[in-house]
Amino acid sequence: MTTDISNNGRAVGGATARSLTASTRFGRFLALEGTNGSGKSTLATQVADLDYARATQVLAEGDPRRGLVWVSRKQPAVTDTDSGIVMARLAEVLWGTVDDPAALPDTFWAATQAAWFTAFSNAVLAPLLEAGFDVLVDGWIGRISTQLLAQGNHSPAELAALFAHVRRPDLTVLVDVDPQVTWARHAQVKPGDLGIHAGADITHARTAFTDYQQRTRSGLCLAAAEQGWPILHVGDGETAEQSAERLAALVAPLTSAASDGGTGLGRAPAAGIELDAAISLLTGLAGGEHYRWPHIDSAFDAAVTGQARRSLSDRDARGVIGEFERAFAGFLGAEYAVSFASGTAAIHAMSRAAGLRPGDEIIAPAYTFAATASPFAFEGVTVRFADADPRTGNVTAESIAAQITARTRAVIVTHLWGIPARMDEIAALAHDRGLWLFEDCSHAHFASWQGRRVGLWGDMAAFSCNQKAITTGEGGVLVTSQPELRDRALLFGHYGKRSTTEIDATKPYSRFAMTGMGLKERITTLGAAIGVQQLARATDIEHRRRATLDRFAHALADNPVLRPIQVDLAEGSHGLYVLGLNYSGEHANFSREEFVARCHRAGATEVDIPGSTGDISGHPLFARSDPFGEWVAPQTAVRHLMPGVSAFAGTFVKLPLWGYPGDGPVVDSYLRVVADVASKACR
Ligand SMILES: *Cc1c(COP(=O)(O)O)cnc(C)c1O
């Protein structure tokens, strides 16, 4: 297939029109918005690979190639002479060569803008995008529309109709600068900087300037919040290069370099790094943080402030809560997802939804985080603990079977540190013995077992969304495929309007909709908005975290002492919460504790032997038989010997699975330090 890149076969940049083989990929259109003088053009030139003149020359030579082209918003067309002339005439009106622009009626003004932007879309942008170039424009219709709306002569619907044929960017980034900083950067301010209606009588006073800028800025920030534009806040002390680097990281995922699997714009290739350099980087960062989660960027800010403006409390699921639950269900391929205030609350809901009663028994992992089992204890359900596979720390069908008694009614499995448990065997056991099967997937948002996502194996599953791989700040989700369990989960945590509107009135339990079962365990709207934003970039999170996992696995492949706990690809995939490793002290020159201490001395302070997650079977909570008993620790019950738990707990070490943009140097440094200390550990 061929595409004629010149409009209707007319001349391209003065050269003969030619047909080019169509690019297999349509380019992406990126736009910067911001007040006048916010530095959009400077940033655009720094981030782009080509300018318009060079790109059109490449086009005319019939050699289109990919790259990011900066096109100035005032660029006349060279691909189409007629359009070029029209644009030049319109530009004269728009940009100041007309005698008295203020005398022009507003409707004329808006129509002229719309005509010019439409011509620009067709004659300047279209040929580049169709040839596969990515295009970056420094200022598009965002600011113009904001101003036209502020002037009050047009409704949003009128503007939308006028600008209907103007191209919409794939991504708009708001460059946000404090007007005081803009003023300080410009010794002199042009009349145009004070607005499109600026006449000659405007005094260039600082207050007039900052007032005007502040008004435009507020409008743009509102537009950003409403439309989900990422915001690049440009600080006072920051150099243009630093801002450009951050901008490059924002736009990189959209451009062809990224979709070709390249490293993307502005990201340095990960090179082998010297040990001394790694140590000095990590110790230099010691006061700061090596691992931050989630990645807080302007899209995150916009998601939170946008939601704050919409609603801080939702009583039903018509807004962001429903959006989050649908996104979460879609992310897993689950039938129903019900959100909660925490993972603990979601686990609590499972106990009630399944109808477990005091005196019933549930089998839980001995090695896990306490909240896997504590809500059952709260309900007076007796928890019996199962031993672990010494390599993964997970319970097995065998260790569960060993704890089954006549009173056992349920089993809960944790996919520990992201490693999926052997769910086919466990599900078969639960099915054969008539037990409820629950999953605690708090460590395993991305895991699967035998081609099925974890969370879809049990009757119900809970996911914590506190600082886990998918986060809502605090929050949790219960998933199930059974409508009645879903209804009961709603009654557990979402009484009132949500339950009354969503639960079928013919169900016997629908009469509880107004009160629920006495608790309210709703997620916050801000948490849900964060969850929606995180799920929208789940593929990116997964990709980055898996890449970190692979790099550590590769770097430690030949080390017999420190071995990343992997999932056999033929069986499943890792859940990507943390990178867990087994340290075999008996084959080493020094102990696991000494290994961790050495890493810490070299600055790698995130190398960790976990504290709160471990053998929970000795907690006095689980020895209580009466949920209403005194606040006195009971005699701890006789504990079973758990050889698997001891073996696993005695060798386990963990590291963060970095997954945010800009983490490259820290990951390189950890790789270097950990590999070095681990190699010294080898005999
Ligand atoms: C985090 C976590 C929980 C508890 O979730 P919260 O959201 O903190 O209440 C439960 N189980 C495991 C395995 C966890 O890691």
Q: Is the pLDDT of residue 268 over 70?
A: no
Domain with residue 247: its CATH number is 3.40.50.300
Both 555 and 621 in one domain: the answer is yes
Write out the two tokens for 676: 């070095």
Pocket test for ligand 1, best of 348, 378, 442 (most atoms within 8 A of CB): 442
Structural contact between residues 489 and 338, judged by C-beta atoms closer than 8 angstroms: yes
Domain boundary (503, 521, 536) is at 536
Write out the two tokens for 620: 């006095």
Q: How far is the CA of 290 from the centre of ligand 1 (A)?
A: 22
| Within a domain: 5 | no
- The DSSP symbol for 124 reads I
Query: In one letter, which amino acid is 504?
Result: D
Both 499 and 567 in one domain: the answer is no
Question: In the structure, what pLDDT confidence band is assigned to residue 489 with cuts at 50, 70 and 90?
Answer: very high
Both 414 and 529 in one domain: the answer is yes
Q: Is the pLDDT of residue 269 over 80?
A: no
Domain with residue 571: its CATH number is 3.90.1150.10
Pocket of ligand 1 (CB under 6 A): 342-344, 368-369, 371-372, 414, 440, 442-443, 464, 466, 476
Report how far Cα 230 is from the mean position of its chain's Cα atoms: 13
Domain boundary (536, 571, 588) is at 536
Beta-carbon contacts of 521 under 8 Å, excluding residues fewer than 6 positions away, are 340, 341, 342, 345, 348, 349, 492, 493, 494
Write out the two tokens for 264: 């993307």
Check the CA dihedral 485-489-494-495 and report its sign. positive
Q: How far is the CA of 373 from the centre of ligand 1 (A)?
A: 10
Q: How far is the CA of 292 from the centre of ligand 1 (A)?
A: 18
Residue with tokens 């297939």: 1
| Within a domain: 33 | yes
The Cα–Cα gap between 517 and 536 comes to 33
Beta-bridge partner residues of 588: 682
Calculate the average pLDDT of the chain.
85
Atom of ligand 1 nearest to the CA of 345: 9
Both 525 and 544 in one domain: the answer is no
Rounded to 10°, the helix 320-332/525-536 angle is 40
Both 354 and 238 in one domain: the answer is no
Position 22 scores a pLDDT of 37
Q: How far is the CA of 519 from the centre of ligand 1 (A)?
A: 19
Provide Rg for the chain, Cα atoms: 30
Write out the two tokens for 209: 């300037």
Q: How far is the CA of 459 from the centre of ligand 1 (A)?
A: 19
Both 420 and 456 in one domain: the answer is yes
Q: How far is the CA of 343 from the centre of ligand 1 (A)?
A: 5
Q: How far is the CA of 468 from the centre of ligand 1 (A)?
A: 9
What average pLDDT does range 447-463 have in this prediction? 97
Position 154 scores a pLDDT of 78
Atom of ligand 1 nearest to the CA of 474: 7
Position 14 scores a pLDDT of 32
What average pLDDT does range 507-518 have in this prediction? 97
Position 267 scores a pLDDT of 28
Number of domains in the chain: 3
| Within a domain: 282 | no
Pocket test for ligand 1, best of 328, 339, 344 (most atoms within 8 A of CB): 344
Beta-bridge partner residues of 652: 582
Domain boundary (501, 519, 536) is at 536
| Within a domain: 12 | no
Beta-bridge partner residues of 333: none
Q: How far is the CA of 610 from the centre of ligand 1 (A)?
A: 14
Domain range for 346 is: 299-536
Pocket test for ligand 1, best of 339, 372, 470 (most atoms within 8 A of CB): 372
Both 503 and 573 in one domain: the answer is no
| Within a domain: 277 | no
Q: Is the pLDDT of residue 11 over 50?
A: no
pLDDT (tens digit per residue) in 173-212:
888 888 777 777 765 555 555 544 444 444 556 677 777 7
Domain with residue 366: its CATH number is 3.40.640.10
Both 561 and 464 in one domain: the answer is no
| Within a domain: 10 | no
Both 376 and 314 in one domain: the answer is yes
pTM of the shown model: 0.65
Beta-carbon contacts of 242 under 8 Å, excluding residues fewer than 6 positions away, are none
| Within a domain: 66 | yes
Atom 1 in ligand 1: which residue has the minimum CA distance?
A: 464
Both 502 and 574 in one domain: the answer is no
Atom 5 in ligand 1: which residue has the minimum CA distance?
A: 343
Candidate ranges 14-23, 267-276, 290-299, 481-490; pick with highest mean pLDDT: 481-490
Both 493 and 560 in one domain: the answer is no
